[in-house]
Structure 1
């Protein structure tokens, strides 16, 4: 095997090992994502498309060369060729078959190398996409859990607010009952006060009457006192006249 085909065969074996590693379930897509985003691969990612295109170009050239070699060395063994030239010499036939075998081997090596190169690119893309989807799924799940927790807290707070509102409503009802009862008591007190005011007014009117009667009695008593004093004076005068008359008769 020539050096170039030995390198392609080594590249093929490396691709097989890489495909096996990519297909192993031991390494998770997230770990592969970290490997793909390493510093070394990131330094190559800017020119990865160029490298991949050049590699595909070389593999396609080797594949075409292998096809050309197959067509070249398989023409001598076609059924329509001259039998004398086909079996001219055993060594020449064995050498042609060996070259045909090498050409076919090179065709399979280059073909599988080209195929596995495309497979590896596709696998890396799918693994990266899967890792991204897993991360987004985990983030969405965490967000959903947070939303569920928030909703539960809101429901709990709402339930507590409802119970508090119910308690407040009960307290308001009790306060209304107390206010109503106080209003009734106040109405009773107002009615009693009105009755007392009416009674006080009647007493005031009666007191005015009594005052007037007392004033009349005082006036009458004053008149009687004056009349008594006058009569007492007249009586005294008459007594003096009577005493002087008695003295003259003696």
Structure 2
């Protein structure tokens, strides 16, 4: 294998290792994103697109060269089949095999370059979405906590207001009860006074009735005495 194809093959093996690292759960998307945004890679980011396009161009050139070699040796093998010497035929088959090998190497290297770039973009977007989701969750949790605290404060205010209203009602009822008790006391005093007055009137009536009876007796006796004197 020539030097350039050895380098492309080594680059292909490196790409396979990178794809495995990106696909397997070696690190979280957040860590990969922090690695992609490191100072070293950020310094190369301005020239990365140029290098990537240059790499794609080189791989495309090698791919086209491999295709050309394949077509060349395929046509030679078809033309000299049955007429060439065995050694020459084996050399042609070997060159065709190398051209096919180079085609697969350059083709897979080109394909994996596009795959790696797409994986990097998707991992970065996934990390960004995860960060946004975590931020949204934190905002939702903080909003829920704030809403619960507001509801609790509102409940406390309503409870305090209800307690104050209850206390006011109790005070009003107490004042009414006190007023009724005072009125009841006055009624009892009036009732006692009326009862005492009634008792006094009954005694006075008895006394007057007794005096009246005595007077009637006296009058009767005096009347009888007058009749006797006549």
Change (3 A) 1:82 1:13: closer
State the partner residue of 1:105. 101
Q: TM-score, normalised by structure 2?
A: 0.73
State the partner residue of 1:248. none
The whole-number CA distance in structure 1 between the counterparts of 2:164 and 2:8 is 85
Q: 4+ runs of 1 displaced by more than 4 Å?
A: 175-182
Shift of 1:119: 0.4
State the partner residue of 1:117. 113
The whole-number CA distance in structure 2 between the counterparts of 1:65 and 1:176 is 105
The whole-number CA distance in structure 2 between the counterparts of 1:47 and 1:88 is 52
Instruction: Please tell me whether residue 170 in structure 1 is matched to residue 166 in structure 2.
Output: yes
Given that 1:87 and 1:93 are in contact with CA atoms closer than 8 Å, whether structure 2 keeps it comes out as: no
Gaps of 5+ in 2: 184-230
- From the CA coordinates, give the structure whose radius of gyration is larger: 1
Secondary structure at the aligned position of 1:46 is classed as helix
Shift of 1:157: 1.0
State the partner residue of 2:135. 139
- Pairs aligned (count): 181
Secondary structure at the aligned position of 2:84 is classed as coil
Deviations 1:89-145 (CA, angstroms, capped at 9, x unpaired): 111111111110010000000000000000000111111111111111111111111
State the partner residue of 1:149. 145
Given that 1:63 and 1:111 are in contact with CA atoms closer than 8 Å, whether structure 2 keeps it comes out as: yes
State the partner residue of 1:30. 30
Q: CA RMSD in A?
A: 1.9
State the partner residue of 1:234. none
Shift of 1:12: 0.3
Change (3 A) 1:82 1:40: closer
State the partner residue of 1:90. 86
The whole-number CA distance in structure 1 between the counterparts of 2:37 and 2:22 is 16
